[in-house]
Structure formats: structure tokens, C-alpha cells
Structure 1
Amino acid sequence: MRQFDTRSLFRRLCLLACIGTLLSCQTTPENTRDAATVAVAAPNPAAAVTSIGVTAAPINIITPVAAGYDDLWQRMQAGFQLGDDYAQPEVVSRLQSYTGNQRYFDLITERAAPFLYWIVEEIDRRHLPQELALVPIVESTFDPNAYSREHAVGLWQFIGATGKSFGLQQDWWYDARREPQAATIAALNYLQILYDQFDENWMLALAAYNTGDGNLRRAIRNSGQEAAIIDFWSLPLARETHAHVAKILALAKIISDSEAFGVELRRIPNSAALSSVEIGAQINIAQAAELAQIGYAELRALNPGYLQWATHPDHPQTLLLPPENAEALLTGLQTLHQTELPSWDRYQIAAGDTLGGIARRLGTRVDILQTVNQIQGSQIIAGRSLLIPRLDNLGADLSLFSIPSLPLSRRAPMTLPASHRVRRGDNLWSIAKRYDLRSRDIASWNQIELDSILQRGQILDLSFAISETDGGTETPPSASEETYLVRSGDSMARIAARFNTSLEDLLLWNSIDSNHIIYPGQLIQISPLGLSELN
């Protein structure tokens, strides 16, 4: 999603009461990523209480249309409204990409199952076309952590400035662009603005979401068409924008009659898959997983907005879980004392700062700063950051404020063939995932486009990567295929070297700078998450 015209947006936002959380608009170059926000807060002793107030609520069905369907796919199909354009030649040409691609739709279903109900529900609540629920498939292959070359993030692919203008919180602890519910509200707000802006034409609204309203206006002017009768399909827009809209409609056509296109859509129940637990305090996500009796990786996957080892020190402090795990978490939290849930601030060191001065100013102790931030001696460097635990009692036990190291897993040694013969259901992303490569590298070496349709029996040359993996050496420890759990003694430069990537890319993927301090147990992104490249 590209940068939008902030002045035009502001005028329209004044007329839309539904966007009360809009922040001040910004104008930045289209491909300029916002730097990570550094949150500096004084300690808040008043926030420390002796008990934890927790609440849980299922994400319930609220719209009347929901009750008539058992399967979410069927409910979506009933809400499709853009069928007049399904027969457009560009839409028909895109059908081949999806026809019979069972593996792709299985992947989408798996990714979407926890979150799709809420998206469909919100679209119905607003009386919008259900084709809008397919935008995250095209934008990100329904990956909340998708990261594009233009620095767009999340299911709906918001860049930093656009996300902030729609109230999406972005700081060191949390990125709402990755949180499906928050990002969906922002994306639907934006799409409704574009729909009003372009004479209630959904083809134009979807195109503007992809290319930006400024580019679309120029294309309309250059086409010479009258505003009231604009034909989107004949506008002189980038091929990517035409393809973006065509893919959304092609997916809707296939979902409307999946069997005819050789696809079986696995049923997604038309009911809330998750419950929301408001904890009322910051909590270590590993600790929450243990209390909830759920895997750590699964809990992180259901709450992708949290960037660090814990929820936010101030807001949000909510976790989404399956109902049975939410009940277990509630039960476990009732047994905890507030001192078992330490809260943190982050402080950026200024010139002339000392550990003693920082400790006095923020109501903590030098030895706690040293322990938490792994500082030997008293030397600190301006521009770097410190974690500051919020203390109710300066005599607190140091062990309460150590960041626990999480268990590390190891990936099995990889055997990489010189070539790969395409099988039914293969695509560039699945092949890259299988061999721990990057989709764009395979595409570039084989001189094909990232969205190329692979034919069964086609041979892809992988020899370019063999020299990098010869010798059967074990890949460094990792929390997943795309993340790494920091260990004691790690630095960003060492991690970059270990995973054979550039330090610049590693810093970019993690929205941090070279002076940033990392901590044991912190999750570091070690790839740009190529799922979004499939589309």
C-alpha cells in the first residue's frame, strides 16, 4: 500500500466520526520507513498494585447475517457485491494462478483461521463488500508479519506514516500494523475514505489502496474520462495495480464456486476462534504461555503485534487466545502477585548521562540497570538505550528484573539439491521455504517473475545456493524459520554474520538502529518474511 494524500485525507476525516483515533497526518517519501519510536517514561509507582485485574471476553457474533451460515467461506460468498467485474479479461487471466492450487488455499486457510471471522464480522457490521476480506490474501498471503520492499508491514501492508495517520501505534514494544484487529479497523477506515473520495467506485478504491490516491488521480486525468463514468480497467495505471484488483476479484470468483476451479476450501467455523484477555499489567509472553497452557510460538503467532518478550508496559496489555487457554490464563493470573509481573520503560542515553544520574532520575538502582542491561562497570554510550524496570520498592530482589532466556531450538541440517522439479501445488514461496532460500533469489536466478505460474514438471535451478550450504553445517539456533532468540553475548553484527545477511538489512527488518541494545530472550527477525512475495 502506497503513501496517500494526507491533505485530502484530513478533509474527509473531519466528516467521519468513525475515525476518532486519527493521529496527526505526516508527509514522508513513499519508500521512507519510520524509525522505531523510542519510548521514554518516568517510573510509575502508582501503577504497582497488589493484585491483578484481568478480564476475558470472546469475540462474539454481533451481526444478524452471521447466524445463517456454519462456514465462514459461505458467509463471505453471500456478502460478495462486486460480481459485475468478475468477467473482466484481466480477472479471468488471473484465475489460472489459483486454479487447482490446493496447497496455496490450504496455506491461506491455516493462516486466516484465527483472524478471518473478526474481519468478516467487521465488514458485515459496516455493510461493505466481503471482497474486502480478500485484500490481506493479495497484500500479504495473510501473514501478519509480512514485510515488503517498500517497508509495508502486516496483513494490510501499512507503511509507517500511513499507519500512524490511522492511529496504529508503533513503538519499541508494539506495532499495531502487525495486529490483525487494529490493522483491519485502520484498513477499512482507509478503504471507506477512498470509496467516498472516488465517487463510490470500489474498483477505484481498491486501486487507490494499492497505488495511492495521487497516482490514481493522475491516471484519471490522463485518461480524459469523465468522473461519473470512469472505467477502471482502461486507466493507464501500473500493471501491478491492475493485477492487484484483478487478483482480489479472481479469488472471490473461485471462492464462489471452488469445486469448479479444482479447489477444496477447508471449513472455517463461523464463530469466534479467540477470546481476548485484558491483563491490566505488563506480562512476559513466555510466562503467559505457561499459565495459559499454550505453546510459546503459538501465543506469539496469535499476538503478532508484540515485538519484544513482553506485552506493552502501558497499552496494550491484551492477549488473544483460544477460549480454553484464555480460561487457563485467567485462572493462573489470579494466583499471581503484582511483583511477579515487573513492568519496564525504555530510556535513550543522552550525552553527559551517567548510570547514577539515570537511576536517581528514574527511581531505580545502578545495580539493577547493570544487571538488566548486561553492563560491566559504569561506562555507557550516548544514543544507546537502557531498559528501566518500574519499581514500587527500591529494595526489590534483582532476580525479579532479569529477562529470562528462552529455550532455543535447532533446525536440522539442510540438504540442498542442484535443481527442483515443480510438483502439483508448488509455488516459489513453498519451494523457498522447503530449502531455506528466498523466493526472490530463486526467481532472479531462473529469470522468472515472483508471481510467475509454475508448471508441473518445470525445473528450477538451485545451484546458485549450493556453495553456501556445502559441508552440512548446522544452521544457527533459531526460534523459527524467520526469527532468532538472542543469547548472552550476541550483537546485531554477530547475528547478521551468523545468518549470512547484511547488518543493514537486519537492522531494517527489526526497525532499530546500530546503537540499539539487544537482550537475551529478545526475538530478532532474520528474514523479511517472504510470504508476501507470493502475490
Structure 2
Amino acid sequence: MTPSPSGHPRRLIEPMPPAPKQKKTAAVVTPIHSPNTFSATITPLNSNLLSLEDYANISTGNLWDRIPLEFQLEDQSYHPAVQAQIKWFSTHHDYLARTSERAAPYIYYIYEQLHQRQLPMELVLLPINESAYNPFATSGRGAGGLWQMIRGTASQYGVKQNWWFDGRRDIYASTKAALDHLTYLQNLFNGDWLLALAAYDCGEGTVLRAIRRNAAQDKSTDFWSLSLPEETRAYVPRLLALANIIRNRQAYNIDLPSIDDQPYLSQVDIEIPISLAKAAQLAKMNLAELKKLNAGHKYTEKTPLGSYKLALPIDRVDLFKNNLSSYHNHRHAMNEPEISQEDKLALQEKNPPQHQITYPRQGKQPIIRRVRKGDNLSVIAKLYKVSSNDIMQWNHLKSAGLKPNTKLIVGFMDAPNTIKNVNPNSKKQNTKFAENNTAKKNKYYKVRTGDTLTKIAKQHNISTSSLEAHNHLQHKTLKAGQRLTIPYG
């Protein structure tokens, strides 16, 4: 998907076949219309090529046997550019074997999505072109993941990218976006998949300009006739060559590692966040292996904010869910206050069970903050010197999203001889201990021409986020004469 101009090829894990050599006098490859013209360019090691009918009678449980049954693109293996790529692959069996091993956890899911959308099954081979099926692959221009998506294109298709998650490396998010984009390109080029694939590589603008140039000169506007970047002229033939190789593996004596013809991955909803490292422990998996399945997670030890989905091998899901439940029950038990049964019953009568909160220890009462428009959970947590996870647990939040005017428990303060259980929806006056205590020591600052939030924050040795939170700023634009509250400490 990354437009990659000539001279700046993608940085892949392993070398890919070179672009076929062109004569200096020829600007483009001449279209070939007769399949027999170049049939002798490269001869398979035996002539018993398997037809689709042959594959239909095979039931081996190997996904590589089923994939060719749903190929849709015209076989253009007679073209010299495709022949050059076939020659490279047919002499680099080890490359295909290693790529097949890397593809094993992901390829069935991609196959399934292509099947549901009725798209050409040749596209299941596109991540070989893009990343050699490595979700951690990154190009020199910043494209990332199996489908090598650049940030801008990924954002257009709703792929989440933030401080802890990069959806371009997530098998689920990136595959949906890539197939959406490929479908868009196929429609843009009136169903011509070769032009769509070329546009996926070098950008739709590059292909459209090449088409306009040829049309202006009354030349053919098919892929083979266009003057495109060198990498793109190799990119499309490479995919066609891969399809030919996969369809005729036996003819080329290529033995790929078998991939089970059944789903491998499943997603589990993680409502109370845990780190990837903890998830690996609960799933009894090697952390590196779990990271491969969840490559979108940027950190393994940090706990993300809010709920998320975790990809696991299907055979680990039940074990993980059981261990996760035990883990949360244990944490809940460790945090339970030591109060009498009489007190518990009294609290349940006053407050509905769904609103009860877990107290760190006996003899504390909650500090309540009313959520204001623009409030952020992490900023609030920093203000009250607690963790975001604590606030989520105290308030039974399933995600980090906050609604204005909601009453939020943000901590506890000493209240000798009292044990209180607070209903977040209670109409009673809430304690504002932390805010009132802080307000007494706040300072004020009058904005001057040229001031910025960052500059003011540095002058007063506080964070920009803290300054924004205390002043309920909806944007970072300041006006001269504006009065800002400078929080204490």
C-alpha cells in the first residue's frame, strides 16, 4: 500500500526477486497476447501441472491445497515479466518455506475474509509481496504490518493508532482496512485488478497519471503498457508468479510446510485491562509468540487504558478465560475490606449492588470528582496520584471513556471510625476534599501575546495536560488577557 518510488524499495525481512531486466530502448513491457509465445522461457521440472479439477478431488486438510481453488485472476504466466519472477521463486524454495511458516497463524483468517467478500484468492499471497508475512516489518517510508500500510491510509479506514496500539500491525484491523482499500481501487479502475494492485503499491495517483499519459498518446492503458515505477513493474508480476507457483507446487517440486485448513485465531474481549505479559502467563504461552499474534500492542509490560481485544490460538482460549477469571477473583479478594457481616448487609440496603465499590481498606471514605467536558482518565489519575486502573476498578468502568457530569471516585481519605459505600448516582453532596485542598494553593496567570500552553507549563514547572485539565480547555489556542489557573505542585 505504500507508494514506493523507484530507488526506495521496501525494507523486507528477506530479499525479494528483482525486477525483470528491460531493454534500454523500451520504456514499457509490450503486452503479450499469445500464451504459447513464451511457453519455453522457463520449463517446470515436470509437465504434470495440476488443474483446478485435480485440486477439487483433493481433501488433505492443507490450506495450500484449497487456496488455488478460488483463484480468479487470469493466468498470465506466459508473460516474460511473470516468467522472470517464477524463475526466481522456483530456485528459492527455502524462501517460500520460511514465509509459509510465518504465514501460518494469520493466513486462514485472511483466506476467510477474502472468501466472505468473494475477492480473488490471489490476494492471500499479497502479504508475501508486502512483508513476507511479518507483522513487525517496516518500510523505509514508515509503512508497517503484514499489509505495509502507511499511517494516512490506515487512518482513512478507521485503523486505530495511538501511544500503545498500532492497528496497522494487528491482523484483524489491518486486513479489514487493506481489503477495503483494495476493493475501492478495483472499483476505481473499473474492475481491472492488475491496475488496482499497481495502485496499491505505488499509489492511485501514479497509476492514473500513467493512464492519462498513454491515453493522450492514443496508447493502450492496460497495466503492461503503462510506464510505472520499476518496483511496481515487478510487484504485479511477482503476485501472478506466486499464484502460478502455489497452483503448481508439485510441478515445480516446491514442498511448503502444511497449514491446517481450519481457523487458528480467536479474539477474546478483555474488559478489565491487563498487560500482554500477564496475558501470556494466563494463557501459558511464550510472550514472544503472543506478541506475534498481537503485534499491534506496542508494549508488553504496560497495561493499556480501557478494554481491548486479545488474539489467541483457539486451543488456548478456554484455559486463558478460566485463568483470567481466577486472577480477577484473587485480586478482588485481596482488596476486600475487613468489615463485619452486619455492616455489609447495611451497606447493601442503602446502595444497589451494581454501584458498590471495592475499598482498599477499612476506615476510608471516597473522594468524588464530577467529570467535566474534556476530562481524560489518565490526566485525572495523574492529578490525584492514582493509576487509571484503580479509578476503573473503583467505579466498575469497562472502558476509559468518561461521560460529562458523571460522579467519579478518584481516591480515598481518612475518615476515622467510618465506613462508607458511595453510590456514584447518589444525590447527596459529594466530598471535594482534593479539589478544595488544592484550590487554596492555586496561583493565577494572565496570558500574554505569544504565550502557548507548553511555554506557560514550563514556566511554572507543571505538565501541559495538568494545565489543560485545571482550566477545562477544549483546545490549545490561548487569547491575550485570558486568566489561567496554575495548579499547586
TM range (shorter): 0.5 to 0.7
Specify the code of the residue in structure 2 equivalent to 1:216.
V
Q: Is the 2:381–2:410 Cα contact (8 Å) retained in structure 1?
A: no
Distance 1:110 1:200, change over 3 A: same
Residue in 1 aligned with 2:241?
250
Distance in 1 of aligned mates of 2:409 and 2:264: 38
Residue in 1 aligned with 2:126?
135
The offset of 1:227, in angstroms, is 10
Q: Is the 2:146–2:171 Cα contact (8 Å) retained in structure 1?
A: yes
Which structure would you say has the larger RCO, counting Cα contacts within 8 Å and 6 or more residues apart? 1
Distance 1:287 1:392, change over 3 A: farther
Q: Is the 2:75–2:244 Cα contact (8 Å) retained in structure 1?
A: no
Q: Deviations 1:55-88 (Å, cap 9, x if unpaired)? A: xxxxxxxxxx9x9772211221111111332221
Q: How do residues 367-382 of structure 1 correspond to structure 2 at under 5 angstroms?
A: none
Q: Secondary structure at the match of 2:148?
A: coil
Q: Is the 1:143–1:155 Cα contact (8 Å) retained in structure 2?
A: yes
Among 143, 152, 174, the alignment partner of 2:143 is 152
Among 246, 265, 271, the alignment partner of 1:280 is 271
Distance in 2 of aligned mates of 1:114 and 1:360: 34
Q: Once superposed, which parts of structure 1, at least 4 consecutive aligned residues long, lie more than 4 Å away?
A: 225-229, 338-342, 358-361, 363-369
Q: Is the 2:245–2:252 Cα contact (8 Å) retained in structure 1?
A: yes
The offset of 1:231, in angstroms, is 2.0
Residue in 2 aligned with 1:217?
208
Is structure 2 residue 315 aligned with structure 1 residue 324? yes
Is structure 2 residue 306 aligned with structure 1 residue 314? yes
Distance in 2 of aligned mates of 1:97 and 1:69: 28
* Paired residues, number: 303
What's the TM-score, normalizing by structure 1?
Answer: 0.52
Q: Deviations 1:468-513 (Å, cap 9, x if unpaired)? A: xxxxxxxxxxxxxxxxxxxxxxxxxxxxxxxxxxxxxxxxxxxxxx
Distance in 2 of aligned mates of 1:360 and 1:247: 47
Residue in 2 aligned with 1:394?
411
- Segments of 5+ residues of structure 2 without an aligned counterpart are 10-55, 336-375, 391-407, 414-462, 464-489
Distance in 2 of aligned mates of 1:300 and 1:284: 11
Q: Secondary structure at the match of 2:267?
A: strand
Specify the code of the residue in structure 1 equivalent to 2:294.
N
- Segments of 5+ residues of structure 1 without an aligned counterpart are 5-29, 32-64, 343-357, 373-390, 397-514, 516-535
Among 98, 104, 111, the alignment partner of 2:102 is 111
Residue in 2 aligned with 1:233?
224
The offset of 1:393, in angstroms, is 6.0
Distance 1:359 1:169, change over 3 A: closer
Q: How do residues 489-508 of structure 1 correspond to structure 2 at under 5 angstroms?
A: none
Is structure 2 residue 178 aligned with structure 1 residue 187? yes
The offset of 1:229, in angstroms, is 6.3
Specify the code of the residue in structure 1 equivalent to 2:380.
L
Q: Is the 1:359–1:365 Cα contact (8 Å) retained in structure 2?
A: no
Structure with higher Rg: it is 2
- Tell me how large the CA RMSD over aligned residues is: 3.4
Q: How do residues 47-446 of structure 1 correspond to structure 2 at under 5 angstroms?
A: 70-224=61-215, 230-309=221-300, 310=302, 312-315=304-307, 317-337=308-328, 340=331, 362-363=380-381, 394-395=411-412
Q: How do residues 447-462 of structure 1 correspond to structure 2 at under 5 angstroms?
A: none
Distance in 2 of aligned mates of 1:173 and 1:367: 21
Specify the code of the residue in structure 1 equivalent to 2:186.
Y
Q: Is the 1:100–1:261 Cα contact (8 Å) retained in structure 2?
A: no
Distance in 1 of aligned mates of 2:211 and 2:167: 33
Distance 1:361 1:85, change over 3 A: closer
Residue in 2 aligned with 1:2?
2
What's the TM-score, normalizing by structure 2?
Answer: 0.57
Distance 1:359 1:133, change over 3 A: closer
Q: Is the 1:166–1:186 Cα contact (8 Å) retained in structure 2?
A: yes
The offset of 1:321, in angstroms, is 1.5
Q: Is the 2:189–2:196 Cα contact (8 Å) retained in structure 1?
A: yes
Distance 1:243 1:325, change over 3 A: same
Q: Is the 2:195–2:223 Cα contact (8 Å) retained in structure 1?
A: yes
Q: Secondary structure at the match of 1:110?
A: helix
Q: Percent identity?
A: 36
